[in-house]
Chains A and B, each alone.
Chain A
Amino acid sequence: MPITIKEVREIAQLARIAIDDKDIPSYEDQLNKILTLVDEMKAAETEGIIPLAHPLEESQKLRDDQVSEKNQRESYQSIAPITESGLYLVPQVIE
């Protein structure tokens, strides 16, 4: 079933991307073409196949629980849009 204009708006909201109204129809058209391509997967018989999330299937390596990074807050915050007293500033979240 093709994606509708309404769904494109909902997906854009989920993805947190502002899209101009005038651009929505072109995204709708292209997403539908991409999904038509993707729907070719339906032809594959995958009953009982265990999904493969990662090519190597190695388990995560563990290390000793020791501090490995030094505190670089100042350096990291020097590239932030706005900081104050060591805090990242964002618009007010709680009224």
Chain B
Amino acid sequence: MNLPNSVTEIIHGLENGTFSSRELTKAYLNRIDNLDPKINSFITVCHDQALQDAENADRRRATGTANKLTGVPYGNKDIFCTKGIRTTCGSKMLDTFISPYDATIVERLSSQGMVMLGKTNMDEFAMGSSNETSFYGRVNNPWNIDCVPGGSSGGSAAAVSAGFAPVATGSDTGGSIRQPAAFCGISGLKPTYGRVSRYGMIAFASSLDQAGPMGRSVEDLAHMLEPMAGYDPRDSTSSIVTTEDYSRDLEHTLEGKRIGLPKEYFATSLDYQIESVIEAAIKEFEQLGADVVEISIPTTPLSIPAYYVISSAECSSNLSRYDGVRYGHRCELPSNINDMYDRTRGEGFGEEVKRRLLTGTYVLSSGYYDAYYRKAQQIRRLIKNDFSKAFKHVDAVVSPTTPTTAFEAGKHLNSPVNMYLGDCFTVASNLAGLPALSIPVGFADGMPVGLQLVSSYFKESTLLTFGHMFQKATDWHLHFSQDNLKEAQ
């Protein structure tokens, strides 16, 4: 069968009986089996479980107990715990880890009757912007397999882009949904901190981590966000603010909406091709009725340093749980308990993870805490204040998602700081806890360019409306890298 191009199309196809979930699931699994060896976007493919879930979904539909998303396949980032199915977080440390429980979002998506095709590749413990730090090998960008897909949700982004899954889950601590979405030419949403439960999502930096949907169109993101969002008593930081009917509220005029362009973001030495693509997209928003105003986010240059202090500090604390005692890797024949801890962690973690654990341990150590951690938290408040001021005047803050398009594999592997600088447009919304969306808006040298929109707390609907109205008027989200792959066959 020909694979559908959107979740909306799948919903209609399943409702009208054009195809069954089993047929659809089988078609995606075949495509993964045939073409993913070129991309490496999946760590685990769940052939049997997926087909069984698809058959159950078809039965639900036959008995009239189906929901909107019953039978819709998805890819699941390997950071979300799945009962009985290996969850590795891209690390040797968890190579054999089989979670005894499901993450809340996995539970919610499966209670909708969605079909998990498999667990997608990612940077180890979500630390990375290129998907090159995975223990399971790098992921290739379907637009150009010599380039990275971005990270850390690089497997999810590449899988959606390559047509291996219509939608996928992602997690975003400093841009890990939006940056790979931009690099792979798809749409991705990082919701407000606390909008989606973190229960069962393996922790990296707990005050920044947030799960969200990745898909080709904003409409598909809205479908997927509905079951993902909402209060979860098992995550004490999940919010009780009520959720919205995200797909119902997509169609709304942009007349009178205000877009803010932070002058600091455009003052940097932005690639001229990216700049012109972004300018054209902004003109499109103007044609749709939005007013564009210049704003200022003076703390912009401080975001990256503050982010790398806070995220490293939090991960050095969170990852202390990997001690070789209760689950995960344990070294062979430890001579004493300290030898067990040291070698277990030395062997189980990859280089980038170790680098961040050392950075985090250093900035939290006695004598340095005030200069680094406390200072970064003070800057964090200044960043939040900057955005709060901006949202008094505008509905969304717009920028490129990334300063470059997808770069060649290996380019930044030996210079982590250069890799970190690529997060300059994305980390501020994690520090402030704001929702942010990336949508494809064009190409530079044949590689996709993403545009980022950030809005105020719990205004996911505003972002989705901006994105959807843009996609109704343009066709950038309908350029598929899967067509490239077909030619390469």
Contact (Cβ within 8 A) A79 B337 = no
B-side contacts of A88, CB under 8 Å: 325-326
In the complex, whether A67 has a CB less than 8 A from a CB of chain B is no
Contact (Cβ within 8 A) B345 A54 = no
Contact (Cβ within 8 A) B334 A41 = no
Q: Which of B194, B320, B375 contacts A41 (CB 8 A)?
A: B375
A-B contact count (CB 8 A): 172
Q: Please, what's the 1-or-0 string for B29-45, where 1 marks a CB less than 8 Å from any CB in chain A?
A: 00000000000000000
State whether A27 and B355 are in contact (beta carbons under 8 Å apart), knowing that A19-B346, A49-B381, A88-B326 are contacts in the complex.
yes
Number of interface residues of A (CB under 8 A): 53
Contact (Cβ within 8 A) A56 B382 = no
Q: In the bound complex, what is the Cα–Cα distance between A61 and B232 (angstroms)?
A: 11
Interface of A is mostly: loop
Contact (Cβ within 8 A) B240 A34 = no
Question: B309 — nearest CB in chain A belongs to which residue?
Answer: A38
Enumerate A30-80 residues with CB–CB distance to B below 8 Å.
30-31, 33-44, 46, 49-56, 58, 60-61, 63, 72, 75-76, 78-80
Contact (Cβ within 8 A) A61 B236 = yes
State whether A91 and B357 are in contact (beta carbons under 8 Å apart), knowing that A55-B193, A79-B327 are contacts in the complex.
no
State whether A33 and B355 are in contact (beta carbons under 8 Å apart), knowing that A19-B346, A40-B302, A88-B325 are contacts in the complex.
no
A-B interface, 7 closest residue pairs, ranked by CB to CB distance from nearest: A55-B433, A18-B346, A51-B377, A52-B381, A46-B378, A81-B330, A18-B342
A interface residues, Cβ below 8 angstroms from B: 3, 7-8, 11-19, 27, 30-31, 33-44, 46, 49-56, 58, 60-61, 63, 72, 75-76, 78-82, 88, 90-93
B interface residues, Cβ below 8 angstroms from A: 96-98, 100, 193-194, 207, 233, 236-237, 239-240, 299, 301-302, 304-306, 308-309, 316, 320, 323-328, 330, 334-343, 345-347, 349, 354-355, 357-363, 365, 372, 374-382, 384, 415-417, 420-421, 431-434, 457
15 new A-B contacts at CB < 8 Å, known A37-B304, A43-B302:
A11-B361, A16-B338, A16-B342, A30-B355, A34-B416, A34-B420, A40-B302, A41-B372, A46-B378, A56-B194, A63-B233, A75-B100, A79-B96, A81-B325, A91-B339
